């Protein structure tokens, strides 16, 4: 099974973003083929704060390329795992990915802690399963993959 990992990128550093993806990949990787938006973007190492728009000129990192590739990855995945943990400002990218997944009838699993800025009917209704914490979501995804 393929799983797409979505999480906040804008406003964070390369090391923060990669660290969170690596953490999740280490927990799920043997059970899933993992896709995430940072694959192939090593040229962004050293970035201290990702911008949401207009800062990047590398062909892989311009807005249109990011939009189309992330959309393609969502279409290729069986499951979308969106972790909203720690987000303090709305993440437009994550909400778009969740909307695409819902429209495509993908199995959508999210982590949405209480009082998160993404607490909204559209986010909750686009998700098949809503967990309040990361560890419970990971346990569910591991069980779903058939591994115990």
Q: What pLDDT shows up at residue 134?
A: 98
Q: Which long-range contacts (CB under 8 A, 24 or more apart) does 130-135 make?
A: 133/85, 134/83, 134/85
Overall CATH class of domain 2-144: alpha beta
**Cα 14 → chain centroid:** 15
pLDDT at 147: 52
Cα angle 72, 40, 54; round to 5: 75
Q: Which of 39, 35, 27, 24 is nearest to 78 (CA)?
A: 35
* pLDDT, tens digit only, all 148 positions of the chain: 999 999 999 999 999 999 999 999 999 978 899 999 999 999 999 999 999 888 999 999 999 999 999 999 999 999 999 999 999 999 999 999 999 999 999 999 999 999 999 999 999 999 999 999 999 999 999 999 985 5
Question: What pLDDT was estimated at residue 116?
Answer: 95
Q: What is the pLDDT of residue 56?
A: 92
Q: What residue spans define the domains of the chain?
A: 2-144
pLDDT (0 to 100) of residue 29: 77
């Amino acid at each position: 099974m393929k799983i797409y990992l979505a999480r906040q990128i804008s406003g964070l550093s390369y090391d923060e973003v990669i660290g969170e993806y690596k953490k999740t990949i280490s927990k799920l990787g043997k059970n899933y083929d993992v896709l995430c938006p940072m694959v192939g973007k090593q040229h962004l190492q050293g970035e201290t704060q990702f911008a949401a728009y207009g800062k990047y000129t590398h062909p892989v990192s311009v807005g249109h390329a990011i939009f189309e590739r992330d959309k393609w990855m969502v279409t290729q995945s069986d499951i979308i795992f969106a972790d909203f943990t720690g987000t303090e400002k709305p993440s437009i990218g994550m909400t778009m990915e969740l909307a695409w997944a819902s429209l495509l009838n993908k199995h959508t699993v999210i982590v949405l802690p209480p009082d998160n800025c993404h607490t909204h009917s559209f986010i909750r209704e686009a998700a098949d399963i809503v967990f309040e914490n990361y560890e419970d979501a990971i346990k569910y995804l591991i069980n779903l993959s058939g591994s115990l």
